[in-house]
Chain A
Amino acid sequence: MDNFTVGVVVFPGSNCDRDVSWALEGCLDLRTKYLWHESSDLSDVDAIVLPGGFSYGDYLRCGAIARFSPLINALDEFVKSGKRVLGICNGFQILTESGFLPGALVANKNLNFICDDVELDIVSSKGGWFNNVDEKQTIKLPIAHGEGRYHCDSDTLKKLVDNELIALRYKNNPNGSSFDIAGITNEKGNVLGLMPHPERACDEIIGGTDGLFTLKSLILK
């Protein structure tokens, strides 16, 4: 694992890229590499994080323009190879816009930009992204979004439930998400998208360490 490198994608408008990198390097001693969105060479990274922010100013829809970057085009092969991809907040929006995950993220029900700590139930640990093997089924992570209301049609929701693709649900739904959904995985489990920010919960000094497990699981095969 000495050379395990996590690629942190930087779009114009990303603003959590450095937080992710600091958390991975400073708290988990993992090597990171910033990947400019115009790069399509993913050969020297072992996992990828799409960080939060406002890629392309959220123009048209959140994540809609980022989807057409060379890096996202190259991501298809990366995901098919089984390597792990974590999309946080705007990264989750990009993953749904580009079809790696089903559904869409739309404006919060109350139109507020919500910046808060939220309690989350771990529903499934498919892909090993969350620790629910012991009695600790609930974690607390920060959220910060204006468009985080997960929406999908009823067939998609059934598929998510039946295949255990729902990773996290809000205990007190802050944004009107369908079925209280805060995070989902793809069927293989190697792609996780979530609205909460695990990278902002990696040190007791800033309010908690419940995000560590998810970031650490980037190294899983």
Chain B
Amino acid sequence: MDQFAVKVFVRLRPSVLDPAGEATKSASIKLGAEGIKSLRIGKMIEVKIEGNGENEVRGKIDLLCDRLFANTVIEDYEYSLEKL
């Protein structure tokens, strides 16, 4: 069995308003940061997972992303995978 470290990034789709991102953008500007054009907040999920090779593990992660980690009505996801 191989072990992999997976980082999943879940983001609100561009068409979905992100009020938390807007509030943080506003605070960033108040802090004095200049030039911020856009700020959106997502989630990062770290998973350590075992499987027989990368393909099998990708299959499991795809299922998790589709069915649990992201709600694809409002969110997109992508992930990176590193063999340990």
Contact = CB atoms under 8 A, between A and B. Distances in A.
Nearest to B23: A111
Interface stretch (A38-46, A102-110, A124-132, A183-191): A102-110
A97 B17 contact: no
Given A60-B68, A64-B68, A111-B23, A152 B17 contact: no
A151 B68 contact: no
Contacts of A176: 17, 19
B73 A151 contact: yes
Nearest to B69: A60
A104 B19 contact: no
B16 A106 contact: yes
Nearest to B74: A104
Contacts of A108: 19
Contacts of A107: 19-20
How large, as a class, is the contact surface on chain B? 10 to 19
Contact of A111 (B12, B20, B71, B74): B20
B46 to A, nearest CB: 14
Contact of A151 (B20, B23, B69, B74): B74
A128 B23 CA distance: 41
A75 B74 CA distance: 24
B74 A106 contact: yes
A96 B69 CA distance: 15
27 contacts: A60-B68, A60-B69, A64-B68, A64-B71, A68-B68, A97-B71, A102-B73, A103-B73, A104-B71, A104-B74, A106-B12, A106-B16, A106-B17, A106-B74, A107-B19, A107-B20, A109-B17, A110-B19, A111-B19, A111-B20, A111-B23, A149-B17, A152-B73, A153-B15, A153-B73, A176-B17, A176-B19
